[in-house]
Amino acid sequence: MLITDQQYQRLMKTYNDSGVLGHAAMKAGVDPKTARRYIRAGKGPQELQPAHDWRTRVDPLAAIWPAAEQWLETTPELEAKMLFEYLLTDPTAPVVGVDAGALRTFQRRVTQWRRLHGPAKEVCFAQVREPGHSLQFDWTPAAELGISLGGVAYPHLLAHAVLPYSNWEWAVPCQSESMLSLKLGVQEAFWRLGGVTVELQTDQSSSATHQLRRGQSERGLNAEFVAMCAHLGVTPRTIAVKCPNQNGDVESAQGHLKRRLNQYLLLRRSRDFASAADYAAFVAKVCTGINTLRVTKIAEETARLRTLPPTRFPQTQEVPVRVSCYSTARVKNCTYSVPARLIGAMLDARVSEATVSFHYHGETVLVCPRSHGQEPCIDYRHVVDSLVRKPGAFARYLYREEFFPRPVFRQTYDRLEATTPGEASARYLRILQLAAELGEDRVAEVLGAGLRAGAVPAVAAIEAALRQPEPIRPVELPPFVPDLSVYDQLILEVAS
Protein backbone atom coordinates (compact mmCIF):
# COMPACT_ATOMS: atom_id res chain seq x y z
CA MET A 1 0.00 0.00 0.00
CA LEU A 2 1.37 3.39 -0.98
CA ILE A 3 1.18 6.33 1.40
CA THR A 4 1.67 10.02 0.83
CA ASP A 5 4.87 11.93 1.50
CA GLN A 6 3.17 13.75 4.39
CA GLN A 7 2.15 10.46 5.99
CA TYR A 8 5.68 9.09 5.61
CA GLN A 9 7.23 12.16 7.20
CA ARG A 10 4.77 12.02 10.12
CA LEU A 11 5.39 8.29 10.52
CA MET A 12 9.18 8.62 10.67
CA LYS A 13 9.14 11.67 12.95
CA THR A 14 6.79 10.07 15.47
CA TYR A 15 8.69 6.76 15.36
CA ASN A 16 12.06 8.47 15.87
CA ASP A 17 10.64 10.45 18.81
CA SER A 18 8.79 7.63 20.59
CA GLY A 19 10.25 4.39 19.22
CA VAL A 20 6.76 2.81 19.30
CA LEU A 21 5.65 1.54 15.90
CA GLY A 22 1.94 1.26 16.72
CA HIS A 23 1.81 4.83 18.05
CA ALA A 24 3.65 6.15 14.98
CA ALA A 25 1.30 4.27 12.64
CA MET A 26 -1.75 5.65 14.40
CA LYS A 27 -0.40 9.22 14.20
CA ALA A 28 0.36 8.83 10.49
CA GLY A 29 -3.00 7.19 9.76
CA VAL A 30 -1.58 4.02 8.17
CA ASP A 31 -1.80 0.30 8.89
CA PRO A 32 0.89 -1.01 11.29
CA LYS A 33 2.01 -3.56 8.67
CA THR A 34 2.47 -0.82 6.10
CA ALA A 35 4.30 1.30 8.66
CA ARG A 36 6.64 -1.59 9.48
CA ARG A 37 7.49 -2.05 5.80
CA TYR A 38 8.43 1.61 5.34
CA ILE A 39 10.40 1.79 8.58
CA ARG A 40 12.40 -1.35 7.72
CA ALA A 41 13.10 -0.12 4.20
CA GLY A 42 14.04 3.37 5.35
CA LYS A 43 12.71 4.73 2.06
CA GLY A 44 9.85 7.02 1.19
CA PRO A 45 6.89 6.29 -1.10
CA GLN A 46 8.63 7.86 -4.10
CA GLU A 47 11.54 5.44 -3.73
CA LEU A 48 9.51 2.30 -3.00
CA GLN A 49 6.96 2.62 -5.77
CA PRO A 50 8.05 1.26 -9.19
CA ALA A 51 9.23 3.79 -11.76
CA HIS A 52 6.44 4.93 -14.07
CA ASP A 53 7.90 6.76 -17.07
CA TRP A 54 5.40 5.88 -19.79
CA ARG A 55 2.18 7.61 -20.81
CA THR A 56 -1.21 5.99 -20.45
CA ARG A 57 -3.00 8.62 -22.54
CA VAL A 58 -2.27 11.26 -25.16
CA ASP A 59 -0.60 14.40 -23.76
CA PRO A 60 -3.43 17.02 -23.64
CA LEU A 61 -0.88 19.88 -23.66
CA ALA A 62 1.28 18.73 -26.56
CA ALA A 63 0.04 21.53 -28.84
CA ILE A 64 0.77 24.47 -26.51
CA TRP A 65 3.57 23.27 -24.24
CA PRO A 66 6.50 24.34 -26.52
CA ALA A 67 5.08 27.87 -26.61
CA ALA A 68 4.52 27.75 -22.85
CA GLU A 69 8.16 26.80 -22.26
CA GLN A 70 9.32 29.77 -24.31
CA TRP A 71 7.21 32.12 -22.22
CA LEU A 72 8.40 30.58 -18.96
CA GLU A 73 12.06 30.88 -19.97
CA THR A 74 11.76 34.57 -20.83
CA THR A 75 9.13 35.57 -18.24
CA PRO A 76 9.27 33.08 -15.36
CA GLU A 77 7.10 35.26 -13.07
CA LEU A 78 4.00 34.59 -15.21
CA GLU A 79 1.24 32.76 -13.33
CA ALA A 80 0.24 29.39 -14.79
CA LYS A 81 -3.47 30.18 -15.04
CA MET A 82 -2.89 33.49 -16.83
CA LEU A 83 -0.44 31.89 -19.26
CA PHE A 84 -2.85 29.03 -20.00
CA GLU A 85 -5.73 31.41 -20.75
CA TYR A 86 -3.49 33.52 -22.96
CA LEU A 87 -2.27 30.53 -24.99
CA LEU A 88 -5.84 29.35 -25.57
CA THR A 89 -6.76 32.74 -27.06
CA ASP A 90 -3.47 33.47 -28.87
CA PRO A 91 -4.13 33.17 -32.63
CA THR A 92 -0.47 32.32 -33.31
CA ALA A 93 -0.40 29.39 -30.87
CA PRO A 94 -1.65 25.96 -32.00
CA VAL A 95 -4.49 24.95 -29.68
CA VAL A 96 -5.89 21.99 -31.61
CA GLY A 97 -6.88 19.29 -29.15
CA VAL A 98 -6.35 21.48 -26.08
CA ASP A 99 -9.34 21.53 -23.74
CA ALA A 100 -10.01 24.36 -21.26
CA GLY A 101 -10.48 21.65 -18.63
CA ALA A 102 -6.76 20.86 -18.80
CA LEU A 103 -5.91 23.84 -16.57
CA ARG A 104 -4.99 21.71 -13.54
CA THR A 105 -2.73 19.55 -15.71
CA PHE A 106 -1.09 22.69 -17.09
CA GLN A 107 -0.55 24.09 -13.59
CA ARG A 108 1.12 20.85 -12.45
CA ARG A 109 3.31 20.85 -15.55
CA VAL A 110 4.39 24.43 -14.91
CA THR A 111 5.21 23.56 -11.28
CA GLN A 112 7.37 20.65 -12.43
CA TRP A 113 9.14 22.87 -14.98
CA ARG A 114 9.91 25.51 -12.34
CA ARG A 115 11.30 22.87 -9.99
CA LEU A 116 13.68 21.68 -12.72
CA HIS A 117 14.48 24.81 -14.74
CA GLY A 118 12.98 27.82 -12.93
CA PRO A 119 14.85 30.55 -11.03
CA ALA A 120 15.99 30.00 -7.48
CA LYS A 121 13.56 31.05 -4.75
CA GLU A 122 14.42 33.31 -1.86
CA VAL A 123 15.91 31.38 1.02
CA CYS A 124 14.81 31.93 4.62
CA PHE A 125 17.47 31.45 7.27
CA ALA A 126 16.50 30.02 10.63
CA GLN A 127 17.67 32.17 13.53
CA VAL A 128 18.92 31.17 16.96
CA ARG A 129 16.57 32.59 19.60
CA GLU A 130 18.19 33.49 22.90
CA PRO A 131 15.94 33.60 25.97
CA GLY A 132 15.44 37.07 27.38
CA HIS A 133 17.27 38.77 24.52
CA SER A 134 14.56 40.54 22.50
CA LEU A 135 11.01 41.84 22.71
CA GLN A 136 9.20 42.40 19.40
CA PHE A 137 6.49 45.06 19.32
CA ASP A 138 3.88 45.96 16.72
CA TRP A 139 0.28 47.14 16.30
CA THR A 140 -2.59 45.24 14.71
CA PRO A 141 -6.09 46.56 13.83
CA ALA A 142 -8.85 44.88 15.83
CA ALA A 143 -12.02 46.35 14.31
CA GLU A 144 -12.87 42.86 13.01
CA LEU A 145 -13.63 41.77 16.58
CA GLY A 146 -16.72 44.03 16.58
CA ILE A 147 -16.16 45.39 20.10
CA SER A 148 -18.54 48.03 21.49
CA LEU A 149 -18.50 50.05 24.71
CA GLY A 150 -21.90 50.77 26.16
CA GLY A 151 -23.50 49.92 22.83
CA VAL A 152 -21.23 52.26 20.85
CA ALA A 153 -18.79 50.78 18.33
CA TYR A 154 -15.20 50.82 19.56
CA PRO A 155 -12.75 50.85 16.64
CA HIS A 156 -9.29 50.25 18.05
CA LEU A 157 -5.91 48.59 17.66
CA LEU A 158 -3.97 46.18 19.83
CA ALA A 159 -0.47 47.16 20.93
CA HIS A 160 1.11 43.72 20.82
CA ALA A 161 4.40 42.52 22.34
CA VAL A 162 5.98 39.06 21.90
CA LEU A 163 9.11 37.34 23.21
CA PRO A 164 10.43 35.33 20.22
CA TYR A 165 12.05 32.55 22.28
CA SER A 166 9.04 31.48 24.34
CA ASN A 167 6.26 33.21 22.36
CA TRP A 168 5.08 34.90 25.58
CA GLU A 169 2.76 37.73 24.50
CA TRP A 170 0.84 40.67 25.88
CA ALA A 171 -1.62 43.07 24.26
CA VAL A 172 -3.17 46.39 25.25
CA PRO A 173 -6.08 48.09 23.41
CA CYS A 174 -5.15 51.49 22.00
CA GLN A 175 -6.49 54.07 19.56
CA SER A 176 -3.58 54.75 17.21
CA GLU A 177 -0.02 53.88 16.25
CA SER A 178 1.55 56.64 18.31
CA MET A 179 4.47 57.14 20.63
CA LEU A 180 1.99 57.25 23.50
CA SER A 181 0.56 53.82 22.70
CA LEU A 182 4.08 52.48 22.13
CA LYS A 183 5.15 53.61 25.61
CA LEU A 184 1.97 52.17 27.10
CA GLY A 185 2.19 48.79 25.32
CA VAL A 186 5.92 48.22 25.84
CA GLN A 187 5.92 49.15 29.52
CA GLU A 188 2.76 47.16 30.27
CA ALA A 189 4.50 44.11 28.77
CA PHE A 190 7.76 44.64 30.69
CA TRP A 191 5.99 45.25 34.00
CA ARG A 192 3.83 42.19 33.44
CA LEU A 193 6.99 40.16 32.80
CA GLY A 194 8.77 41.61 35.82
CA GLY A 195 11.92 42.50 33.87
CA VAL A 196 13.29 43.90 30.62
CA THR A 197 15.00 42.28 27.66
CA VAL A 198 18.31 43.27 26.08
CA GLU A 199 16.69 44.63 22.91
CA LEU A 200 13.39 46.21 21.94
CA GLN A 201 12.55 45.63 18.28
CA THR A 202 9.92 47.64 16.38
CA ASP A 203 9.07 48.33 12.77
CA GLN A 204 9.88 51.53 10.87
CA SER A 205 6.71 53.38 11.90
CA SER A 206 6.98 57.09 12.59
CA SER A 207 6.18 56.42 16.25
CA ALA A 208 9.72 55.17 16.84
CA THR A 209 11.56 56.79 13.92
CA HIS A 210 11.64 60.13 12.18
CA GLN A 211 10.11 60.46 8.73
CA LEU A 212 12.77 60.20 6.02
CA ARG A 213 13.81 63.64 4.82
CA ARG A 214 15.41 64.66 1.54
CA GLY A 215 19.09 63.84 1.49
CA GLN A 216 18.87 61.25 4.28
CA SER A 217 19.81 57.67 3.55
CA GLU A 218 17.94 56.17 6.50
CA ARG A 219 15.39 57.02 9.15
CA GLY A 220 16.65 58.08 12.56
CA LEU A 221 15.15 57.18 15.92
CA ASN A 222 12.88 59.63 17.71
CA ALA A 223 14.52 61.32 20.69
CA GLU A 224 11.60 60.35 22.93
CA PHE A 225 11.85 56.70 21.88
CA VAL A 226 15.60 56.70 22.56
CA ALA A 227 15.00 58.33 25.96
CA MET A 228 12.43 55.66 26.88
CA CYS A 229 14.81 52.85 25.90
CA ALA A 230 17.61 54.47 27.94
CA HIS A 231 15.30 54.73 30.95
CA LEU A 232 14.32 51.05 30.64
CA GLY A 233 17.87 49.94 29.91
CA VAL A 234 17.10 48.28 26.56
CA THR A 235 18.76 48.69 23.18
CA PRO A 236 16.41 50.03 20.47
CA ARG A 237 16.36 48.16 17.20
CA THR A 238 14.23 48.62 14.08
CA ILE A 239 13.66 46.28 11.18
CA ALA A 240 14.35 47.22 7.56
CA VAL A 241 11.78 49.22 5.60
CA LYS A 242 9.04 47.04 4.05
CA CYS A 243 10.46 43.88 5.64
CA PRO A 244 7.77 42.73 8.10
CA ASN A 245 9.25 39.23 8.02
CA GLN A 246 12.06 40.54 10.23
CA ASN A 247 9.40 41.09 12.90
CA GLY A 248 7.94 37.70 12.04
CA ASP A 249 7.21 36.41 15.53
CA VAL A 250 4.89 39.25 16.52
CA GLU A 251 3.43 39.47 12.99
CA SER A 252 2.56 35.77 13.07
CA ALA A 253 1.16 35.90 16.61
CA GLN A 254 -1.28 38.70 15.76
CA GLY A 255 -3.62 36.48 13.78
CA HIS A 256 -3.56 33.78 16.47
CA LEU A 257 -4.28 36.33 19.20
CA LYS A 258 -7.29 37.82 17.40
CA ARG A 259 -8.64 34.38 16.56
CA ARG A 260 -8.40 33.40 20.24
CA LEU A 261 -10.02 36.66 21.34
CA ASN A 262 -12.86 35.99 18.93
CA GLN A 263 -13.38 32.51 20.37
CA TYR A 264 -13.57 33.88 23.91
CA LEU A 265 -16.02 36.54 22.74
CA LEU A 266 -18.23 33.80 21.30
CA LEU A 267 -18.15 31.99 24.64
CA ARG A 268 -18.91 35.27 26.42
CA ARG A 269 -22.01 35.67 24.18
CA SER A 270 -21.51 39.44 23.98
CA ARG A 271 -19.05 41.82 22.37
CA ASP A 272 -20.24 44.80 24.38
CA PHE A 273 -18.31 46.02 27.43
CA ALA A 274 -19.22 48.60 30.06
CA SER A 275 -15.96 50.52 29.65
CA ALA A 276 -12.57 50.49 27.97
CA ALA A 277 -11.05 49.31 31.26
CA ASP A 278 -13.35 46.26 31.29
CA TYR A 279 -12.35 45.39 27.74
CA ALA A 280 -8.64 45.83 28.55
CA ALA A 281 -9.09 43.46 31.50
CA PHE A 282 -10.74 40.93 29.16
CA VAL A 283 -7.78 41.10 26.74
CA ALA A 284 -5.35 40.72 29.66
CA LYS A 285 -7.22 37.62 30.87
CA VAL A 286 -7.03 36.01 27.43
CA CYS A 287 -3.29 36.77 27.15
CA THR A 288 -2.73 35.29 30.61
CA GLY A 289 -4.47 32.10 29.50
CA ILE A 290 -2.32 31.89 26.38
CA ASN A 291 0.89 32.30 28.36
CA THR A 292 0.02 29.49 30.79
CA LEU A 293 0.60 27.06 27.90
CA ARG A 294 4.27 28.11 27.63
CA VAL A 295 5.43 28.11 31.25
CA THR A 296 8.62 26.11 30.70
CA LYS A 297 10.20 28.40 28.14
CA ILE A 298 8.81 31.49 29.84
CA ALA A 299 10.68 30.45 32.98
CA GLU A 300 13.89 30.36 30.94
CA GLU A 301 13.12 33.85 29.64
CA THR A 302 12.32 35.43 32.99
CA ALA A 303 15.49 34.00 34.55
CA ARG A 304 17.55 36.07 32.09
CA LEU A 305 15.59 39.32 32.14
CA ARG A 306 17.21 42.49 33.40
CA THR A 307 15.88 44.36 36.42
CA LEU A 308 13.03 46.81 35.91
CA PRO A 309 13.75 50.49 36.60
CA PRO A 310 12.20 51.91 39.81
CA THR A 311 9.55 53.86 37.88
CA ARG A 312 8.00 53.82 34.45
CA PHE A 313 9.03 56.26 31.77
CA PRO A 314 6.38 59.04 31.66
CA GLN A 315 3.47 57.81 29.57
CA THR A 316 2.18 61.31 28.88
CA GLN A 317 3.28 64.23 26.73
CA GLU A 318 3.10 67.77 28.04
CA VAL A 319 1.92 70.42 25.60
CA PRO A 320 1.58 74.12 26.58
CA VAL A 321 -1.68 75.58 25.23
CA ARG A 322 -3.50 78.88 25.51
CA VAL A 323 -7.27 78.98 25.98
CA SER A 324 -8.89 80.96 23.15
CA CYS A 325 -11.77 83.40 23.42
CA TYR A 326 -14.03 80.53 22.31
CA SER A 327 -13.22 78.76 25.60
CA THR A 328 -11.35 76.06 23.66
CA ALA A 329 -7.76 74.82 23.44
CA ARG A 330 -6.13 72.88 20.61
CA VAL A 331 -4.06 69.86 21.59
CA LYS A 332 -2.44 67.75 18.86
CA ASN A 333 -4.76 69.21 16.17
CA CYS A 334 -7.87 68.44 18.26
CA THR A 335 -10.13 71.05 19.86
CA TYR A 336 -11.15 70.66 23.50
CA SER A 337 -13.52 72.91 25.45
CA VAL A 338 -12.46 74.11 28.90
CA PRO A 339 -14.26 76.12 31.59
CA ALA A 340 -14.87 79.71 30.45
CA ARG A 341 -13.07 81.17 33.46
CA LEU A 342 -9.79 80.00 31.91
CA ILE A 343 -10.11 82.08 28.71
CA GLY A 344 -6.72 83.63 27.93
CA ALA A 345 -4.80 81.45 30.41
CA MET A 346 -1.77 79.30 29.57
CA LEU A 347 -2.38 75.67 30.53
CA ASP A 348 -0.25 72.56 30.58
CA ALA A 349 -2.01 69.78 28.66
CA ARG A 350 -0.82 66.30 29.61
CA VAL A 351 -1.74 63.86 26.85
CA SER A 352 -1.91 60.13 27.47
CA GLU A 353 -3.21 57.36 25.23
CA ALA A 354 -6.71 57.60 26.73
CA THR A 355 -7.09 61.05 28.34
CA VAL A 356 -6.08 64.72 28.16
CA SER A 357 -5.71 66.58 31.45
CA PHE A 358 -5.35 70.36 31.73
CA HIS A 359 -3.33 71.92 34.54
CA TYR A 360 -3.00 75.52 35.69
CA HIS A 361 -0.09 76.34 38.01
CA GLY A 362 0.12 72.69 39.00
CA GLU A 363 -3.60 72.35 39.75
CA THR A 364 -5.71 69.97 37.66
CA VAL A 365 -8.62 71.93 36.20
CA LEU A 366 -10.02 69.41 33.71
CA VAL A 367 -9.65 65.74 32.68
CA CYS A 368 -11.45 64.55 29.56
CA PRO A 369 -11.28 61.57 27.17
CA ARG A 370 -8.74 62.01 24.41
CA SER A 371 -10.17 62.73 20.98
CA HIS A 372 -8.43 60.72 18.25
CA GLY A 373 -8.29 62.05 14.75
CA GLN A 374 -9.56 65.63 14.55
CA GLU A 375 -13.01 65.25 16.12
CA PRO A 376 -13.70 68.13 18.55
CA CYS A 377 -14.29 67.26 22.20
CA ILE A 378 -16.80 69.89 23.38
CA ASP A 379 -18.58 69.77 26.74
CA TYR A 380 -21.70 71.95 26.70
CA ARG A 381 -21.35 72.55 30.45
CA HIS A 382 -18.31 74.77 29.85
CA VAL A 383 -20.08 77.43 27.75
CA VAL A 384 -23.83 76.90 28.12
CA ASP A 385 -24.13 79.79 30.61
CA SER A 386 -22.65 82.19 28.06
CA LEU A 387 -24.91 80.86 25.32
CA VAL A 388 -27.98 81.35 27.51
CA ARG A 389 -27.09 85.05 27.56
CA LYS A 390 -26.47 85.06 23.78
CA PRO A 391 -28.99 82.56 22.36
CA GLY A 392 -28.78 84.09 18.87
CA ALA A 393 -25.26 82.63 18.50
CA PHE A 394 -26.54 79.05 18.78
CA ALA A 395 -28.10 78.78 15.29
CA ARG A 396 -24.73 79.07 13.51
CA TYR A 397 -22.46 77.92 16.31
CA LEU A 398 -19.51 75.90 14.96
CA TYR A 399 -19.92 73.17 17.57
CA ARG A 400 -23.69 73.17 17.73
CA GLU A 401 -24.01 69.41 17.14
CA GLU A 402 -21.98 68.78 20.30
CA PHE A 403 -24.81 70.44 22.27
CA PHE A 404 -27.11 67.47 21.67
CA PRO A 405 -25.61 64.99 24.15
CA ARG A 406 -28.40 62.44 23.65
CA PRO A 407 -31.07 61.81 21.01
CA VAL A 408 -33.80 63.02 23.40
CA PHE A 409 -32.16 66.46 23.51
CA ARG A 410 -32.11 66.63 19.72
CA GLN A 411 -35.77 65.60 19.61
CA THR A 412 -36.58 68.30 22.16
CA TYR A 413 -34.91 70.97 20.05
CA ASP A 414 -36.75 69.78 16.93
CA ARG A 415 -40.08 69.89 18.81
CA LEU A 416 -39.33 73.47 19.91
CA GLU A 417 -38.33 74.47 16.38
CA ALA A 418 -41.63 73.12 15.07
CA THR A 419 -43.82 74.84 17.69
CA THR A 420 -41.96 78.03 18.70
CA PRO A 421 -39.29 78.63 16.05
CA GLY A 422 -38.42 82.15 17.21
CA GLU A 423 -37.73 81.06 20.78
CA ALA A 424 -36.44 77.54 20.20
CA SER A 425 -32.75 78.30 20.79
CA ALA A 426 -33.34 80.28 23.99
CA ARG A 427 -35.68 77.65 25.46
CA TYR A 428 -33.46 74.73 24.51
CA LEU A 429 -30.34 76.36 25.96
CA ARG A 430 -32.17 76.98 29.23
CA ILE A 431 -33.12 73.28 29.31
CA LEU A 432 -29.48 72.38 28.64
CA GLN A 433 -28.45 74.68 31.48
CA LEU A 434 -30.78 72.75 33.77
CA ALA A 435 -29.05 69.55 32.65
CA ALA A 436 -25.69 71.05 33.63
CA GLU A 437 -27.03 72.16 37.01
CA LEU A 438 -29.32 69.30 38.06
CA GLY A 439 -27.98 66.32 36.14
CA GLU A 440 -28.24 65.20 32.53
CA ASP A 441 -29.87 61.88 33.41
CA ARG A 442 -32.73 63.49 35.35
CA VAL A 443 -33.42 66.08 32.64
CA ALA A 444 -33.33 63.42 29.91
CA GLU A 445 -35.88 61.32 31.83
CA VAL A 446 -38.29 64.26 32.17
CA LEU A 447 -37.83 65.26 28.52
CA GLY A 448 -38.50 61.71 27.33
CA ALA A 449 -41.72 61.48 29.34
CA GLY A 450 -42.94 64.82 27.99
CA LEU A 451 -42.17 63.95 24.37
CA ARG A 452 -43.98 60.63 24.66
CA ALA A 453 -47.00 62.49 26.03
CA GLY A 454 -46.91 64.89 23.07
CA ALA A 455 -46.28 67.97 25.23
CA VAL A 456 -44.20 70.97 24.18
CA PRO A 457 -41.12 71.15 26.43
CA ALA A 458 -41.53 74.02 28.91
CA VAL A 459 -38.59 75.19 31.02
CA ALA A 460 -40.72 76.05 34.07
CA ALA A 461 -42.48 72.67 34.08
CA ILE A 462 -39.20 70.78 33.70
CA GLU A 463 -37.55 72.80 36.47
CA ALA A 464 -40.53 72.31 38.78
CA ALA A 465 -40.48 68.56 38.20
CA LEU A 466 -36.75 68.38 38.85
CA ARG A 467 -36.65 70.55 41.95
CA GLN A 468 -39.31 68.55 43.80
CA PRO A 469 -37.77 66.72 46.75
CA GLU A 470 -37.40 63.04 46.11
CA PRO A 471 -39.66 60.85 48.29
CA ILE A 472 -37.98 59.27 51.26
CA ARG A 473 -37.86 55.55 50.75
CA PRO A 474 -37.82 53.29 53.81
CA VAL A 475 -34.56 51.51 54.39
CA GLU A 476 -34.89 47.75 54.16
CA LEU A 477 -33.02 46.10 57.01
CA PRO A 478 -31.93 42.47 56.79
CA PRO A 479 -33.72 40.09 59.19
CA PHE A 480 -31.99 39.54 62.53
CA VAL A 481 -30.52 36.06 62.90
CA PRO A 482 -29.02 35.43 66.38
CA ASP A 483 -25.65 33.71 66.60
CA LEU A 484 -26.08 31.01 69.28
CA SER A 485 -22.38 30.16 69.28
CA VAL A 486 -21.82 33.31 71.37
CA TYR A 487 -23.79 31.77 74.24
CA ASP A 488 -21.78 28.56 74.05
CA GLN A 489 -18.58 30.54 74.30
CA LEU A 490 -19.96 32.48 77.31
CA ILE A 491 -20.85 29.25 79.13
CA LEU A 492 -17.33 27.91 78.56
CA GLU A 493 -15.78 31.10 79.97
CA VAL A 494 -18.00 30.99 83.10
CA ALA A 495 -17.22 27.31 83.64
CA SER A 496 -13.49 27.92 83.44
CA pseudo-torsion sign 12, 17, 22, 27: negative
Question: Is 322 in contact with 344 (CB distance < 8 Å)?
Answer: yes
Q: Is residue 475 part of a domain?
A: no
The Cα 432–Cα 153 span in angstroms is 26
Nearest to 452 by CA among 420, 423, 412, 424: 412
Q: Is residue 142 part of a domain?
A: yes
Q: 326, 352, 377: which is the final residue of a domain?
A: 377
Q: Are residues 172 and 201 in the same domain?
A: yes
Phi, psi of 290 (to 5 degrees): -65, -45
Q: 377, 405, 424: which is the final residue of a domain?
A: 377
The Cα 468–Cα 472 span in angstroms is 12
Q: Are residues 281 and 218 in the same domain?
A: yes
How many domains does the chain divide into? 5
Q: Is residue 482 part of a domain?
A: no
Residues whose CB falls within 8 Å of the CB of residue 317, separated by 6 or more in sequence, listed in order: 179, 180, 350, 351
Low pLDDT (below 50) residues in the chain: none
The pLDDT, as a whole number, for residue 197 is 93
Q: Is residue 458 part of a domain?
A: yes
> Any idea what the CATH number is for the domain that residue 281 is in?
3.30.420.10
Q: Is residue 481 part of a domain?
A: no
The pLDDT, as a whole number, for residue 1 is 62
Count of beta carbons in the 10 Å neighbourhood of residue 419: 12
Q: Are residues 433 and 395 in the same domain?
A: yes
The Cα 309–Cα 311 span in angstroms is 6
DSSP string, 390-414: -GGGSTT-TTGGGG--SHHHHHHHH
The pLDDT, as a whole number, for residue 178 is 87
Q: Is residue 27 part of a domain?
A: yes
Q: Quick one: how far is CA 16 from the chain centroid?
A: 42
Q: Are residues 439 and 335 in the same domain?
A: no
Q: Are residues 186 and 298 in the same domain?
A: yes
Q: Are residues 294 and 212 in the same domain?
A: yes
Nearest to 353 by CA among 311, 316, 314, 312: 316
Structural domain boundaries, residue 367: 317-377
Question: Is 1 in contact with 34 (CB distance < 8 Å)?
Answer: yes
The pLDDT, as a whole number, for residue 218 is 59
The pLDDT, as a whole number, for residue 470 is 60
Q: Are residues 426 and 373 in the same domain?
A: no
Rounded to 10 deg, the angle between the 424-438 and 459-467 helix axes is 10
The pLDDT, as a whole number, for residue 475 is 74
- How crowded is the C-beta side of 158, counted as CA atoms within 13 Å? 29
Residues whose CB falls within 8 Å of the CB of residue 376, separated by 6 or more in sequence, listed in order: 328, 334, 335, 336, 337, 399, 402
Count of beta carbons in the 10 Å neighbourhood of residue 438: 15
Pairing of strands 148-149, 272-273: parallel
Q: 332, 351, 377: which is the final residue of a domain?
A: 377
Q: Is residue 297 part of a domain?
A: yes
Q: Is residue 486 part of a domain?
A: no
DSSP run (H or E) holding 235: strand 235-238
The Cα 200–Cα 164 span in angstroms is 11
Q: Are residues 281 and 429 in the same domain?
A: no
The pLDDT, as a whole number, for residue 373 is 73
Q: Are residues 194 and 93 in the same domain?
A: no
The pLDDT, as a whole number, for residue 52 is 62
Question: Is 169 in contact with 284 (CB distance < 8 Å)?
Answer: no
The pLDDT, as a whole number, for residue 403 is 93
The Cα 212–Cα 314 span in angstroms is 26
Q: Are residues 171 and 293 in the same domain?
A: yes
Q: Are residues 111 and 156 in the same domain?
A: no
Alpha helices by DSSP H, 270-377: 276-291, 295-303
The widest CA-to-CA distance across the chain, in whole angstroms, is 118
Q: Are residues 234 and 144 in the same domain?
A: yes
Read off the pTM.
0.67
What burial class does residue 239 get, using C-beta atoms within 10 Å of its C-beta: 0-12 exposed, 13-18 middle, 19+ buried?
Answer: middle
